[in-house]
Amino acid sequence: MRGLARWLPQSLFGRLVLVLAGGLLVAQLLSAGINLVERDRLLDTASGMQQAQRIADAVRLLDSVGTAERARIAAVLNVPPLVLSLHPSASEAGPGGTPHALMFAALLRASVGAGREVRVTATGVPPGGSPGPGPGMRHRMGGGPGMAGPGGFASGPVVRTEVQLRDGTWARFDAQPRPGVTPLPWRLALVLAILLAAVLVLSYFAVRWVTRPLHVLAEAADALGRDIHRPPLPVDGPTEIRRAAQAFNGMQQRLVRFIEDRTRIFTAMSHDLKTPITRMRLRADLLEDEPLRQRFEADLKEMETMVTQTLEFMRGLGTGEVRQAVDVNALLDSLQSDNEAMGREVRIEGEAAAPYPARVSLLRRCLANLVDNAVLYGERAVVRVEDSSASLVLRVQDDGPGIPEAEREKVFEPFYRLEPSRSRATGGTGLGLAVARNVARMHGGELTLHNRPERGLEAVLVLPRD
């Protein structure tokens, strides 16, 4: 079952088209088979009625003439596929007749009228071309003057019909039935193919029309992860689609309210925390013990930094900022200058071929966090720029110890740090990589970490251009 599932289309659109196409094909094949069976049945009935009427006419004609004239008429009527011969007696009765023979006998009795002896049996034709006797049946080939002998048949079954004339002579009619299986006429096949193609084209557009709202809903859900303030979905279409759009818009409004409420709470907390931190800094300035005062100031600075970065992270990284074309090369040069002013080694390799539409402050914060992380753990940072029509790739490399594979995803969690001391000298607050990944995903991209084969860590920021 799993092997079969691999060959099935993965999209709902493809599966619906496959089901409709398969159902229509099976229906067309069944319809063609039924048409052929019905056509064969009607042709058999029509052919049997025509042949019964011909035999009845021949019997009436033979009854109306004398013996000498009858022989000449029999010779004229002895023309395949209905071979006529006259015999003084009937052939020996064979086994029970076939359904076709029984049906033909009923038609013939209705045509020749009641009171006549009628026999219909099935026999065979040997390769020589003349009807041969069936089991227990001797074939009499012409019992007197003027008797015509049958011949000219192909190998196969033969229906033998014997009717007794008024003077006791038996008129024997040998005929091969029409083949039971006939090929599908090309006109019918063409009509079925045209109908199938027309219905498939109609089904294609119908399924596409039905599944289009689902595609729009999926795109809206994906865009919502990048921009919570995106325009709401239009509420139109069928009832189910309107209800889904209304539910989606309602969910978006609830998320916006939740984020705004959370931002207001943390903004108030930040404001309330900064006030006692400021008072504590003022009181620390009054300390006469210089080493103790410096430790107090370092702790207070770390607390203030944690409050500020936490607030920025909880605000959703400024999602209200409008995108604009950013000169990535100038942004990287600015970051390089700022770091060199602090005595850090940062090198830029490559350049962007064109500006990138981004939220400037967020993109700068993302790159600054990656560069800070590289300098902090690897002593220096190298930023490699790879630009193409599909994406802008920024690789930030360092010469540090790298990250164990089991920890590479955990470091993106807020407040998670590989170095547990939480000292600013050995690490930050644990928000830098979390903020950087959120910025990447807000722009529709992704941020991943890889250990370099030689040594160090590589942070790969991929930003799509489409």
Residue 142 has pLDDT above 50, yes or no: no
Looking at mean pLDDT, say which of 53-62, 199-208, 253-262, 446-455 comes out highest.
Answer: 446-455
Instruction: CATH 3.30.565.10 in the chain: give the residue spans.
Output: 321-464
Confidence of residue 381 (pLDDT cuts 50, 70, 90): very high
Contact (Cβ atoms closer than 8 angstroms) between residue 363 and residue 326: yes
Residue 344 has pLDDT above 60, yes or no: yes
pLDDT (tens digit per residue) in 363-380: 888 999 899 989 988 888
Q: How far apart are alpha carbons 437 and 446 in whole angstroms?
A: 7
Q: Mean of the per-residue pLDDT values for the chain?
A: 77
Q: Which pLDDT score is estimated for 348?
A: 93
Q: How far apart are alpha carbons 216 and 238 in whole angstroms?
A: 14
Residue 329 has pLDDT above 70, yes or no: yes
In DSSP notation, 305-322 reads HHHHHHHHHHTTS-TTPP
Could you confirm whether domain 239-312 is CATH 3.30.70?
Answer: no
3-state secondary structure of 179: coil
User: What is the Cα Rg of the chain in Å?
Assistant: 48
The Cα-based distances of 456 to 89, 172, 259, 317, 400 in angstroms read: 112, 105, 37, 29, 4
Average of per-residue pLDDT across 316-337: 81
Both structure tokens of 430? 């644990």
Contacts of 148 (CB under 8 A, 6+ apart): 71, 74, 75, 78, 83, 84, 85, 86, 142
Residue 52 has pLDDT above 70, yes or no: yes
Confidence of residue 46 (pLDDT cuts 50, 70, 90): low
Scan for tokens 């930003």, then name that residue: 463
Contact (Cβ atoms closer than 8 angstroms) between residue 265 and residue 292: no
Q: How far apart are alpha carbons 121 and 48 in whole angstroms?
A: 14
- In residues, how long is the chain? 466
Average of per-residue pLDDT across 340-355: 91
pLDDT (tens digit per residue) in 235-291: 887 787 788 888 888 998 888 888 777 777 777 777 777 788 888 888 888 888 888
Beta carbons within 10 angstroms of residue 259's beta carbon: 16
Query: Of 197, 213, 180, which Cα lies nearest the Cα of 100?
Result: 180
Instruction: CATH 1.10.287 in the chain: give the residue spans.
Output: 239-312
Q: Which pLDDT score is estimated for 356?
A: 93
Q: What is the pTM of this model?
A: 0.48
Both structure tokens of 219? 């795109």
- Pairing mode, strands 380-387 and 345-349: parallel
Range with lowest mean pLDDT among 42-56, 266-280, 394-408: 42-56
Both structure tokens of 95? 């086994």
Beta carbons within 10 angstroms of residue 181's beta carbon: 6
Both structure tokens of 330? 């100038």
DSSP 136: T
Q: How far apart are alpha carbons 35 and 30 in whole angstroms?
A: 9
Provide CATH code, domain 321-464. 3.30.565.10
CA 181 to chain centre: 38
